[in-house]
Amino acid sequence: MTDANSQQPIAKSQIMDWLQAVKDPEIPTISLVDLGVVRGVEIDEASGAVAVHLTPTFAGCPAMDYMKRDVERTLREHGIEQVQVDISLREAWSSDMISEAGRAALRQHKLSPPPVLGNVVFDLDFLEYAECPNCHQHNTELRTPFGATLCRAVHYCHDCRQLFEQFKPV
């Protein structure tokens, strides 16, 4: 593995690879990269400084400060001395930014991944298309759009008769 100390220019892909280790503080199976929270990485070749751009899933997400610190710490551990993390809404987060690997990671945490909205106008009927993370059926019903965290809704599966949480489509 290339290390920052080896004087080789660092590739963005290398940074993204390292950032795979930074997980969502509330959903430890998914990385910030796969969640779509990492929106960009810029490397200043002259100084070796790395700037990472993050965007929150929900504007009031209280975990952003933790995420910022985790990103800074992880890159420093790989020898990057100058790390700047900025958080903005320049590019509004959408649940479509969650990668396929991210969707698998959500399922692993027993969270139903949000349906992919594509370019269609987001209609709340999409909330009814939740996939049960236990039996993988869609015979489900929205119980409340507000769950344990801002990004989760609570559904009920009529097949396995269990409540489950969905990562909300936004």
Partner 1 sequence: MDPKLDLLYRLADDQLILGHRNSEWNGLGPILEEDIAFSSMAQDKLGHSLQLYGLLHELGEAEPDTVAFTRNAPQFHCCQLVELPIGEYDFSLTRHFLFDHAELLRFQALADSSYEPLAQVARKLRGELKYHALHANTWMKRLGTATDEAIERMQAALNFTLPYALGIFEKTDAEAEIISSGLFIGEDELQSRWLESITKVLGQTALTLPDLATATPVFGGRHGQHTEHLQPLLDEMAEVFRLDPTADW
Phi, psi for 51 (deg, rounded to 5): -110, 130
CA dist., res. 114 & res. 155, Å (int): 12
**Nearest distance, CB of residue 151 and partner 1, angstroms:** 10
Establish if 147 lies at the interface with partner 1 (CB under 8 A): yes
Among 9, 28, 62, 79, binds partner 1 (CB under 8 A): 62
Nearest-CA neighbor of 29 among 86, 111, 93? 111
Both tokens of residue 15? 């940074």
Choose between 17 and 96: whose C-beta lies nearer to partner 1.
Answer: 96
Establish if 164 lies at the interface with partner 1 (CB under 8 A): no
CA distances for 4 relative to 11, 38, 42, 78, angstroms = 10, 20, 15, 6
Among 16, 40, 48, 94, binds partner 1 (CB under 8 A): 94
Q: Which stretch binds partner 1 (CB under 8 A): 12-20, 40-48, 78-86, 146-154?
A: 146-154
Among 10, 19, 127, 130, binds partner 1 (CB under 8 A): 127
Nearest-CA neighbor of 53 among 70, 34, 40? 40
SS3 54: strand
Both tokens of residue 164? 């489950």
Positions 20 through 39 that interact with partner 1 (CB under 8 A) = none
User: Would you give the DSSP letter of residue 95?
Assistant: G
Among 12, 73, 143, 158, binds partner 1 (CB under 8 A): 143
**Nearest distance, CB of residue 59 and partner 1, angstroms:** 4
Q: Which stretch binds partner 1 (CB under 8 A): 1-9, 21-29, 44-52, 140-148?
A: 140-148
Nearest-CA neighbor of 130 among 119, 118, 116? 116
Binding site for partner 1 (CB under 8 A): 58-62, 89-90, 92-94, 122, 124, 127, 143-148, 150, 153-154, 168, 170
